[in-house]
């Protein structure tokens, strides 16, 4: 544990925008740190005493806001909610100017925003760590929570198969990268036209060659879930796609995670979802609320995974 903690110590002052900015060893070390922080909460009390995290929200949130705020409070620091509706950035001030100004007041910034280029511009301008709470391309904090959940349930990553079913979105991108980084096999099944972004797939393929993780893509969900240890899905219509909702319901109907699909996977396969979930759409109520579902363990792990990120980036 000592060596791996040192690896996360080397992250101090860096940004956390996407997982591929770090080595596989650093990601594994973050998971072990998160696991330790969850088990030994009192050990880390006041570790970020006096530190202030500014949280900019340009998209709605439940888990991201509450988990980051709770994480900072449990580490002895403070979290400041900053809605873009209330900031000058919502009235035309550039994200770069916002980053420079906030750097004079805060010790770190978490932002939940739209384009990934926007968070990169913020990080470039800011002199304090910037954390990706979600962009249209990546959701790295969610993927860390997912890895922590797998680690708790299995004790390791290699030899396990993660299957993502549905829209090849930001959650799928980060989950795919995270899985192959730690040597876990990964399969993605999506309808034609809704696959993961080619540039992300290319990155994942290169990583999988280094780690030995098997990476597969198919249109057939029944084929994808054979031998699955984890089946993961997300909503079919994300924020900003509301106009496509009716069309998406039809296209994704064969991709619902239900009891029939779970039966094709390994007997002890677990169901995962980043939430919020729409029962009766991407997942049946019987699976979502069944004994194989670990979605609320996942949700809690957002806080513990983010604690590890905050501790590694911001600890003085």
- The answer to whether 139 is annotated as binding is yes
Query: Is 256 among the residues known to form the active site?
Result: no
Query: Is 142 among the residues known to form the active site?
Result: yes
- The answer to whether 234 is annotated as binding is yes
- The answer to whether 269 is annotated as binding is no
- The answer to whether 238 is annotated as binding is yes
Query: Is 279 among the residues known to form the active site?
Result: no
- The answer to whether 37 is annotated as binding is no
Q: Which two tokens stand for residue 106?
A: 């805060």
- The answer to whether 1 is annotated as binding is no
Query: Is 139 among the residues known to form the active site?
Result: yes
- The answer to whether 142 is annotated as binding is yes
- The answer to whether 239 is annotated as binding is yes
- The answer to whether 4 is annotated as binding is no
Of the residues 273, 274, 304, 306, which is catalytic? 274
Of the residues 51, 74, 142, 306, which is catalytic? 142
Of the residues 112, 248, 273, 304, which is catalytic? 112
- The answer to whether 273 is annotated as binding is no
Of the residues 139, 173, 248, 304, which is catalytic? 139
- The answer to whether 21 is annotated as binding is no
- The answer to whether 62 is annotated as binding is yes
- The answer to whether 117 is annotated as binding is no
Of the residues 173, 273, 302, 304, which is catalytic? 302
Query: Is 167 among the residues known to form the active site?
Result: no
Distances (CA, A) of 199 to 141, 146, 195: 20, 22, 11
Of the residues 35, 167, 229, 234, which is catalytic? 234
Query: Is 65 among the residues known to form the active site?
Result: no
The annotated binding site for carbamoyl phosphate is made up of: 61-64, 88, 112, 139-142, 274-275, 302
Annotated binding residues for L-ornithine, written as ranges, equal: 170, 234, 238-239
Positions at the binding site: 61-64, 88, 112, 139-142, 170, 234, 238-239, 274-275, 302
Catalytic residues: 112, 139, 142, 234, 274, 302
């Amino acid at each position: 544990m000592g060596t791996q903690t040192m690896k996360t110590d080397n992250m101090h002052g860096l940004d956390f925008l996407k997982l591929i900015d770090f080595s596989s060893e650093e990601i594994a070390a973050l998971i072990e740190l998160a696991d330790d922080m969850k088990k030994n909460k009192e050990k880390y009390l006041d570790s970020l005493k006096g530190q202030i995290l500014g949280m900019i929200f340009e998209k709605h949130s439940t888990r991201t806001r509450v988990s980051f705020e709770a994480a900072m409070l449990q580490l002895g620091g403070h979290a400041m909610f900053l809605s873009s509706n209330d900031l000058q950035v919502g009235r035309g001030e550039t994200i770069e100017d916002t980053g420079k100004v906030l750097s004079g007041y805060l010790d770190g910034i978490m932002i939940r925003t739209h384009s990934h280029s926007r968070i990169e511009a913020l990080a470039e301008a800011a002199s304090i760590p910037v954390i990706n709470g979600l962009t249209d391309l990546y959701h790295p904090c969610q993927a860390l929570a997912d890895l922590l959940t797998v680690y708790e349930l299995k004790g390791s990553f290699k030899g396990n198969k993660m299957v993502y079913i549905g829209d090849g979105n930001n959650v799928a991108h980060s989950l795919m990268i995270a899985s192959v980084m730690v040597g876990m096999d990964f399969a993605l099944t999506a309808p034609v036209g809704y696959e993961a972004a080619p540039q992300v797939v290319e990155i994942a393929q290169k990583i999988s060659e280094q780690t030995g993780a098997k990476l597969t893509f198919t249109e057939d969900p029944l084929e994808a879930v054979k031998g699955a240890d984890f089946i993961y899905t997300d909503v079919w219509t994300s924020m900003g796609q509301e106009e496509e909702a009716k069309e998406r319901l039809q296209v994704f109907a064969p991709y619902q995670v239900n009891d029939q699909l779970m039966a094709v996977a390994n007997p002890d396969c677990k169901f995962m979802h980043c939430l919020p979930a729409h029962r009766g759409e991407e997942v049946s109520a019987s699976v979502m609320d069944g004994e194989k579902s670990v979605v609320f363990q996942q949700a809690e792990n957002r806080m513990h995974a983010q604690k590890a990120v905050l501790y590694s980036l911001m600890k003085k």
